[in-house]
Amino acid sequence: MTETHLAERLQNHTAHVTVLGQGYVGLPLAVEFARTGFAVTGLDVDRDRVGTLNAGRSHSPDVSSEELRGVIRGGRYEATSDFSILKRSDVVIICVPTPLRKSKDPDISFVVAAAEQVAGGFRPGQLVVLESTTYPGTTEELLLPLFEARGAKTGVDFFLAFSPERIDPGSQAFKVRDIPKVVGGVTKACSRMAALLYRQIIGKVIEVSNPKVAELAKLYENVFRNVNIGLANEFALMSRRLGVSPREVIDAAATKPFGFLPFYPGPGIGGHCIGIDPFYLAWKMRLNGYEARFIHLADEINGSMPDYVVELVGEALNDRRRCLNGAKILVLGVAYKRGVADTRESPALEILLKLQQKGAETSYADPYVPSVGVGETIVKAVEPTDQVIAAADCVLIVTDHPEFDYRRIVEVAQLVVDTRSATWGIPAPAGRVVAL
């Protein structure tokens, strides 16, 4: 299949699109292509997930089960674990996890395994796009040789590009179709094909000169957030020592209409991206003889926040002549961010464990997470009724889910420690609310 033929199939939506990986990134992307009229296959190694998806049950906060059932009924989406589908695909998009090892070095084993499967099922004329966040150089150094070894001529009978995912899980304001897409192809033809693909579902697509620029752009986005959150967290530590509210200071600074972007302190970094992706860049730079100092400093500050939160709870209880050891602590929210069920890297889990180690009696409430592992123990959520809230010596807000009634919590609780500014602006008796 020539470039012209593939372009025609993309433009008239007759190309078959396979999205490899049906997690938080892959499923919303697959459903968006299917919603636009493409025939889409969601390829995933998790057979249980495949069965659940084919039954019309979504695990993603960005795809409702009703939306999923709609594209299934229309014959435009099907999930499978059968990799033979790759040989019949015009487009293959790789959306697999890229975690860190315990040493904080990249673990690209999922990308390697996926790329080997795609290369093994390669046929001339395919467009392959990597979306998984990874170190700069992955597309050209790892994927490209796998295809060239099979006789593929890049930009002529095979098209390879990198386009970083920008999913914001749980966001109502920014869906897949709303977020501008960056693409970087190995050749100009590769960039053209990748850009043409995404223009079928996204209004704004930005072509950059090569995959490495696109890979670095994604890493810089998350380094930017990681470092600025680290700055906000350190600012909170300094503000507390000066006896002022960091939230009030940041809000005041944010009134400046230029040269300032507000970030707010919190209990630590969570999720798969912000606390992990910067280390892909730090690792790559270390190989090039450069130490990424900002990345490591931000990690040091952000990583210390769970300890600081536990310290804050202890001090707040002490001010009320109560000891942390034996105190009943109700933690509100264990997901890493509001409005989602994702607990990956959530600072709440570390906070719960540290509170238990200090002798506190802990429980948690989270409308999205019915049970969670804390250390070696599986803990079930409690319902945050007035009685449960009032019985706690301290209510600790770690994730500011919109379902919680913060005004009522402030009224009923004996003590509230708020790490998310969820109670900002709510009147409370002196000493009732302690904010980060």
- Tens-digit pLDDT profile for residues 145-175: 999 888 888 888 899 999 999 987 777 778 8
pLDDT digits (tens, 9 = 90+) for 33-51: 999 999 999 999 999 999 9
Burial of 2 (0-12, 13-18, 19+ CB in 10 A): exposed
Q: What is the pLDDT of residue 434?
A: 94
Asked if residue 342 lies in contact with residue 169, where contact means CB atoms within 8 angstroms, the answer is yes
Q: What is the pLDDT of residue 101?
A: 86
Give the pLDDT band (50/70/90) at residue 193. Answer: very high
Q: Which residues contact 411 (CB under 8 A, 6 or more apart)?
A: none
**SS3 track for 355-368:** HHHCCCEEEEECCC
| DSSP-derived pairing of the beta strands 91-94 and 126-130 | parallel
Q: Could you tell me the CA-to-CA distances from 302 to 171, 175, 229, 231, 307 in Å, in that order?
A: 23, 28, 8, 9, 10
pLDDT digits (tens, 9 = 90+) for 94-149: 999 998 888 788 899 999 999 999 999 888 899 999 999 999 999 999 999 999 88
Give the span between the Cα atoms of 199 and 181, in whole angstroms: 9
Q: Give the whole-number percent of the chain exceeding pLDDT 90.
A: 85
pLDDT at 67 over 90: yes
Q: What is the pLDDT of residue 4?
A: 87
Q: Give the whole-number percent of the chain exceeding pLDDT 70.
A: 100
Asked if residue 341 lies in contact with residue 271, where contact means CB atoms within 8 angstroms, the answer is no
Torsion, Cα of 136, 142, 148, 150 (10° steps) = -150
What mean pLDDT do residues 64-72 have?
96
Q: Which residues contact 112 (CB under 8 A, 6 or more apart)?
A: 142
Is 3-209 a domain of CATH 3.40.50.720? yes
Of 58-62, 231-235, 314-318, the range with the lowest mean pLDDT is 58-62
Give the span between the Cα atoms of 384 and 392, in whole angstroms: 10
Give the span between the Cα atoms of 64 and 200, in whole angstroms: 22
pLDDT digits (tens, 9 = 90+) for 216-261: 999 999 999 999 999 999 999 999 999 999 999 999 999 999 999 9
Give the pLDDT band (50/70/90) at residue 1. Answer: low
Q: What is the pLDDT of residue 332?
A: 98
Residues designated catalytic: 273
Asked if residue 313 lies in contact with residue 394, where contact means CB atoms within 8 angstroms, the answer is yes
CATH 3.40.50.720 domain span(s) along the chain: 3-209, 225-435
pLDDT digits (tens, 9 = 90+) for 364-420: 999 999 999 998 899 999 999 999 999 999 999 999 999 999 999 999 999 999 999
Q: What is the pLDDT of residue 124?
A: 87
Of 420, 422, 307, whose CA–CA distance to 358 is shortest?
A: 307
Question: Which fold, 225-435?
Answer: Rossmann fold (3.40.50)
Q: What is the pLDDT of residue 359?
A: 96
Please state the pTM of the whole predicted model: 0.91
Q: What is the pLDDT of residue 172?
A: 77
pLDDT at 89 over 80: yes
* Amino acid in the structure at residue 327: A
Read off φ and ψ for residue 207, nearest 5 degrees: -90, 130
Mean pLDDT, the chain, rounded, equals: 94
> What is the residue whose two structure tokens read 């969820």?
422
